[in-house]
Amino acid sequence: MKRLTTFFVAVVCLGAIHTKLVSQESSILIYHDISGSVMSDNDITDKAHQFVKRYLYTKLDSEPTSVVAGFLFANSGSVLNHKSYLYTPTSSEEDTFVQKARIIQGVRETLFEKNHSSNQTEILSSLRHILKEASKADSINIIYISDMVESSAIRQLQLHSMKDAQEKAMVDVAKLKSMYSLSKNSNTEARFLCLIPLEKGLTNENRNFQYIEEYWKSILSELFLHFTIQFQAL
Per-residue pLDDT tens over the stretch 180-194: 999 999 999 999 999
pTM: 0.84
- Average the pLDDT over 93-112 and give the result: 94
| Average model confidence (pLDDT) across the chain | 83
| Cα four-point dihedral sign 101, 103, 104, 105 | positive
DSSP 3-state of 81? helix
pLDDT category of residue 160 using cuts at 50, 70 and 90: very high
Examine the pLDDT at 214 and tell me if it is beyond 50.
Answer: yes
**Degrees to nearest 5, angle at CA 229 with 228 and 230:** 125
Examine the pLDDT at 11 and tell me if it is beyond 50.
Answer: no
| Cα four-point dihedral sign 55, 57, 63, 68 | positive
Mention every residue, 6+ apart, whose C-beta is less than 8 A from residue 162: 210, 211, 214
Q: Cβ–Cβ contacts within 10 Å for residue 53, how many?
A: 17
Q: Cβ–Cβ contacts within 10 Å for residue 127, how many?
A: 22
Report pLDDT for 59: 94
Report pLDDT for 202: 53
Instruction: Name all domains of the chain by residue range, CATH numbers in brackets.
Output: 25-233 (3.40.50)
Distance in angstroms (rounded) separating the CA atoms of residues 35 and 20: 47
Q: Cβ–Cβ contacts within 10 Å for residue 112, how many?
A: 18
Report pLDDT for 225: 96
Per DSSP bridges, beta strands 65-71 and 82-87 are antiparallel
pLDDT in tens, 27-73: 999 999 888 666 556 778 888 999 999 999 999 998 999 999 999 87
Closest CA to 10 of 78, 18, 34, 185: 18
- Average the pLDDT over 121-150 and give the result: 93
Q: Cβ–Cβ contacts within 10 Å for residue 32, how many?
A: 25
Examine the pLDDT at 108 and tell me if it is beyond 90.
Answer: yes
Report pLDDT for 82: 80
Report pLDDT for 198: 60
Mention every residue, 6+ apart, whose C-beta is less than 8 A from residue 160: 208, 211
φ/ψ of residue 55, rounded to 5? -60, -50
Which range among 48-52, 149-153, 164-168, 193-197 has the greatest average pLDDT?
A: 164-168
Mention every residue, 6+ apart, whose C-beta is less than 8 A from residue 182: 127, 128, 131, 176, 223
- Average the pLDDT over 78-93 and give the result: 83
- Average the pLDDT over 142-165 and give the result: 94
Q: Of the given ranges (21-35, 83-97, 167-181), which has the lowest mean pLDDT?
A: 21-35
DSSP string, 158-195: ---SHHHHHHHHHHHHHHHHHHHT---EEEEEEEEEEE
φ/ψ of residue 72, rounded to 5? -100, 55
pLDDT category of residue 209 using cuts at 50, 70 and 90: confident
